[in-house]
Amino acid sequence: MKRLLLLFFFLAQVFGVVYTKFSSVNYFGWVPFDQISFYEITVSIDSVKLSSLQVSNRYNLPNPGRENRSISHVFSQISQFERSYGKSDSAQVRVIYRVNGKEEEVWDF
């Protein structure tokens, strides 16, 4: 019985590492993940554009900022705020970002 439990324990760890490596939440795993992203967030509420300081305070993120983990972390933080506390604001959110010095990309919420 002990061997079966140990086998299950180690297989669960291997599964976790493999799943984390190939999913969008890989910044949660211990698997080496090296990605530098620079981003700028713009937010409009009722056609009024928020200042960089207001955006920083809204999401608790520097704006413009740098993310050493996956850029998905920034998207996740914004999405979580907008689906909960900011739901009634109907904000238009745009993130312009660059990952590892490549071309700029845009993410809209």
Segment 15-63, tens digit of pLDDT: 877 877 777 665 555 656 678 999 999 999 999 999 999 999 999 999 9
As a whole number of Å, the end-to-end CA separation of the chain is: 50
Give me the residue spans of the domains in the chain.
Answer: 1-29, 34-108
Mean pLDDT, the chain, whole residue set: 88
The answer to whether 105 and 98 are in contact (CB under 8 A) is yes
Q: Is pTM, for the whole model, over 0.75?
A: no
